[in-house]
Amino acid sequence: MEEKQFAGILNGAVPGEPVKKDENTRRGNWGNQIEFVLTSVGYAVGLGNVWRFPYLCYRNGGGAFMLPYFIMLVFCGIPLFFLELSFGQFASQGCLGVWKISPMFKGVGYGMMVVSTYIGIYYNVVICIAFYYFFMSMTNLLPWTYCNNPWNTPDCVGVVSSSSQINSSLANATTSLVAGVSEVVNRTKRTSPSEEYWKHYVLNISDDIGNFGEVRLPILGCLAISWFVVFLCLIRGVKSSGKVVYFTATFPYVVLTILFIRGITLDGAINGIKYYLTPQWQKVLDAKVWGDAASQIFYSLGCAWGGLITMASYNKFHNNCFRDSIIISITNCATSVYAGFVIFSILGFMAHHLNVPVSEVADHGPGLAFVAYPEALTLLPISPLWSLLFFFMLILLGLGTQFCLLETLVTAIVDEIGTDWIIRNKTVVTLSVAVAGFLLGVPLTTQAGIYWLLLMDNYAASFSLVIISCIMCICIMYIYGHRNYFKDVEMMLGFPPPLFFKVCWRFISPVIISFILIFTVIQYKPITYNDYVYPGWSLAIGFAMALSSVVCIPIYGLFKISRSPGATFRERLKAACQAHPKWGPALREHRTGRYAPMASEETAEARTFKEKEELKEEQKEEEKEKKEEISLTIQGSNGSTNTHNNPNPSA
């Protein structure tokens, strides 16, 4: 019996139930489970794994940071990931439809949609800049190699001698060059050609967030390409995106491996990796390190964005999402650690070349992706090749996340309207959302676009995600009831959630989420970009964006209470919190146990069916009688029963 149950667990089926095709013909399903896993990996593994985690790791104690990081993964990341996957898979609904579990909290779903909208707008702008750098790398000489360009300033100091050949090895670089560069670096803050290319040519950055200037047409064109690619991959929903992810989710690992092998063979690479991993155990006692670890796990896995619920809603009902959540979460975190080796091996090589500490060249965010790392690549032989690979990897990492963000919005809209027309014309909805996303992203391609992009990145999806996730946990575990939800999971998977996950869902994860929220508030600092300090009015807009997703929850809650039946507020509140009658598995064949239709419903359906059958029988009897009358009439006139020759009985 145990072997049979174990086999059922492995294939995601309920023990004892025959394996059968369980296709939701109305919404559609993934072609197979590999598509779902790859899509979820592509969603969770994004740009943050490459440009944020390595920086956090070296800043927070190197290898010592791994301890709180993996503890937070086990107690917060994987449980929340499993909760969202099981939530969406059980109801087979997007981030709005699942809130039939407790209609008053449907505002949480709207909050998820708002967050996904903000992230989808600015995330595609980052992808389009990666597209731009990718196209600019299709040359014999990377344009950010030297300081002899029209956009360079007198402060520019390159790391490659203009007299040296492009493909010459570093061993042939003169000692005087290295000494001269090191002297400049130590005397003043060096302005690199890659930084000036980024600021003065790609962005042509303005002096203030309110000074939009002109639209950067090359960036706008790349934004159009980026949105077109996303739309094309989602033109048939999960049926088309499920095929695309075979490439977009796997090829970044090929590129990472190529860059890693290239990186560790360079001089100084070991110093960079040591800087990345050398543990500083005293920092483990610092609360900030634990806060950074919890925040990175939470944001990296994409919890509370609505994407996990949406992707899981296209699973077959008995899929083993427990297994999937562990595989995807561990893959995401392992990718972050692996990317750190790739980044710091190259940065260590650059620091060795400049004869400066690794901390002088380390950076994060756009500064790492579009300034520090591209500059390090100019030092390599055949640098355009490595640049093409690096930016192609960034494009694929970004697209994997962007697919799910767009699908989250489209699925929520289609499920909410739910008419046959909207389901048949889902492609039109996808196109409309993509066009709207492109138009809303146009201001981010102006000369002040980078200011707005960073503002959205820091505020639109910060503490609001934490609040949304915390309320979701409370609603499912305490409003709907943990016992009810555990039974739902057991009904779906064939086994109850392990005790560890029950404890985490009810107690540990909400406490850690609350800790992240408190930590975020305490550690808050007004956003800056290099030396630019954001004005107060722009920070107010940032907070408004953050609150716009959270405020959906109380507004919809009050609306639902006002529309619920009841004489007193308490009765209305109770009615608004109760699960909707349609809550449960989407397909009738899965609505068993407490979700089975009530006897009265079955009787009513049987009665309706019986009445229809009786009506059909009566109609048949009437038709039969008419035919007999016609036959008798014709026989009386000519003795023939051939009604085809004389269809008119009066003849």
The CATH number assigned to the domain holding 120 equals 1.20.1740
The reported pLDDT for the residue numbered 603 is: 43
Residue 597 forms part of a structural domain: no
pTM listed for this prediction = 0.85
Residue 336 forms part of a structural domain: yes
> What would the pLDDT profile of 380-403 be if each residue is shown by its tens digit?
999 999 999 999 999 999 999 999
Which residues 6+ apart lie within 8 Å of 22 measured at CB?
29, 316, 317, 318, 587, 589
First-last CA distance in the chain? 77
SS3 446: strand
Tokens of 555: 């507004």
Q: Contact 337/107 with Cβ under 8 angstroms?
A: no
Residue 616 forms part of a structural domain: no
Residue 588 forms part of a structural domain: no
Query: From the annotation, which residues make up the binding site?
Result: 42, 44-45, 49, 300, 332, 397
> What would the pLDDT profile of 76-130 be if each residue is shown by its tens digit?
999 999 999 999 999 999 999 999 999 999 999 999 999 999 999 999 999 999 9
Query: From the annotation, which residues make up the binding site for Na(+)?
Result: 42, 44-45, 49, 300, 332, 397
| Residue 567 DSSP class | S
Residue 184 forms part of a structural domain: no
Residues in the chain where the model's pLDDT stays below 50: 1-20, 22, 163-188, 600-612, 629-630, 632-651
Chain length of the chain? 651
As a whole number of angstroms, the distance between CA 111 and CA 117 comes to 10
What does residue 355 show for φ and ψ, rounded to 5 degrees?
60, 45
The reported pLDDT for the residue numbered 4 is: 41
For residue 66, the tally of other CB atoms under 10 A from its CB is: 17
Domain count, the chain: 1
Residue 127 forms part of a structural domain: yes
Residue 87 belongs to domain spanning: 35-148+192-524+534-563
Residue 609 forms part of a structural domain: no
What does residue 499 show for φ and ψ, rounded to 5 degrees?
-55, -40
Residue 503 forms part of a structural domain: yes
